[in-house]
Structure 1
Amino acid sequence: PALSLSQIVKFHGSHCAVNHLACTIEQGEIVSILGPSGCGKTTLLRCVAGLEAIDDGEIAINNRVVSSKALFLPPERRNIGMVFQSYALWPHLTVFANVAMGLKVRRRPAKEVATRVAAVLETLELAGLADRLPSQLSGGQQQRVAVARAIVMEPEILLFDEPLSNLDARIRERVRSELHDLLRKLGITTLYVTHDKAEAMALSDRIIVMRGGVIDQVGTGREIYDTPATAFIADFIGRFNFLPASPLAGTDALHTVEVKGQRMALMPARSQAAGTVGFKPEDAVLCPNPAGRANVFELSVLKQTYFGSSVEVVAELLGTPVTLSLPETVAGNTLRIHLPPAKLTYFGADGQALGGEPPAPSLQIAGE
């Protein structure tokens, strides 16, 4: 692996920011660390960068230990590149001078500096901007300069600390697309910290979801979105709706639970304890023809919001307000929906997902 984290522990005073965290990142892989504020993701990134020492465990880059209880290599000896949230460009230096700074600090020959900087600027389509100051650049161009400054040092690992959070929504979406193409082109192992799920899913080969200093789940964006391991991930990633449920007798193919006195079928849940049933807003399907279908419910519409490509409907399902994402506005104060059993997830009292493996995603249109 390019990066190996073995039982990492990091305290801030009496608070355990990272608690026995372990994972590996493969060569050339782009991995995002995703989670809410305070979950420990930036602390973990700083430990990998060498900006903070760990209290226990071991960090290895390409099988070379760089941090442990007995060893601490400073950042300049770890051969990493880091792009900060603010980009941290020197405002009085040109693009060329910003990118060249690290090489000059390492006392590389002037000819080598000029050659390497020119090559990197050409790769990132910045060659024509070499003489400009950061204030004369767009947000996306500033980000590319920050990336250029990091990769000109030929790092083994590239680290990003929420580099898009300072951009407005429209620019962030465009820059995110540019960054995705750039990282694929470079092929450098990348660790990317963000609290934005769309950003993580758009950029990453895999996502590490953190909560309270530990890893809740590691997987591709599809795996985490479609099969969340915990109720926390379901709510954080997919905006799940949750309904309190109690298991009833089921079959090998389907499991039956009771929700507010109504029966609901879902995939086998491997549990006989009370918990919750969850589903994403887009999992509910309008159902004009309920004949022969399980999980058909009448809902009272509370509110509708039009978003162009979809309509967000807040409705009451078995006495619980739920949010639905539908293709069209609902006429009237009631609607009928079908909840496909394969789209429902059962969570135990501890928040762990207990359902079986769902089938491959497929387009389902009720009533047709």
Structure 2
Amino acid sequence: GLKVVIVPFSMYCWGKESLVHWWGEVAEYYKDYPADLIFEVINEPKMAGHPDGKEAETMEWYSACIQEVRRSNPARLLAVGGPHFNGVKLLTEYVTPEYLSYKLKDGSGFCDDPNIWGVFHCYHPRGFTHGAKDQDINRDHPGWREEILADLEEASAWSRKYDKRVYLSEWGSRVNHEVKHVEEYTAFVVPELSKRGIEWSYYCGLFSNAWPYGLYNSEWGFEGVERVVKNLTGKEPPKEVPSTNQIVNSDFQLDLADWNSSEYVIKGTADGQGVGGSRAIRVHVPFVPMDTFDPEMKRKKTPSLYQQYEPDWQFRAMGINHANKYTIQLRRSNIYKISFFAKCEVGQARLQIRLGHAPDNEPVIWTS
């Protein structure tokens, strides 16, 4: 059934004590929540800055966090993976009593805790799951089924050895390929996981319109990936497309990610100045005559701030099926509400909104 998993990036640069403190606060806040709420201790430590060669140190972070969570949540289900990118070989090598050698106040440890599950990720064949260009999964990766089964068997062996369940917390493919290949991929993996009793989460359903792994689009819903969704859920996806904010949580990066500006705008952030005390974007515009034509630039000098993925964004889909997907998408005949909070700290300001075609914001199709 549907579960909720809380999982952080550990942020190596902030130090172990910062993560332990964070988990202590989270665990205390959610201690009375139902068992359907699961804590996954760390996601992909290498992405959060944990260096190669420091695997034992990474597992010490896991141990410290487990001990902190167990103070307030003695029976909460904890999902624990290995270092690096949570590959299955890191699970079998490091999620062990040798590397998780902590002891709780009652003397119990890793082997005694029935509510610890092992975590692994599986992105095979990687050229298909992470490839920016269209691929035929059978022609380009003839041994893809065997690659996946090898990982599932290794995870199952770990499960039997330690008498603990395993959780495949990430698997999935970019959807810039011809969709029939993604359908075949998902139709194969789901039954194999079920045979082995492996719980799983697919990456990913809803993220942002530009994210090449996302199945859901704010304007088209699940149109075009209906069979993929049915393979994953056993149900036909809904035809209705609920109203979805295209900007909020448009990227898991922070602050100014994907916000761009003209040469006349200096961007920064302002703590506590956003809605409800959140962080806001601070924009400084030096004196520039508005809408003054510059003959050298061959365009008007209009200071601007806009949200758009850059053409050289590393996750750009370059295939013929889903190339050049941008965060903000408009569908003909739809009605859109644009709202925001803004204030002028010094003097007066005039604010104007424009919608234009990516990537150059030309032609402009609407101006407030």
Shorter-chain TM-score category?
Answer: 0.3 to 0.5
Structure-1-length-normalised TM-score? 0.32
Name which structure has the greater RCO, CA cutoff 8 Å, separation 6+: 1
- The TM-score with structure 2 as length reference comes to 0.32
In proportion to residue count, which structure has more strand?
1
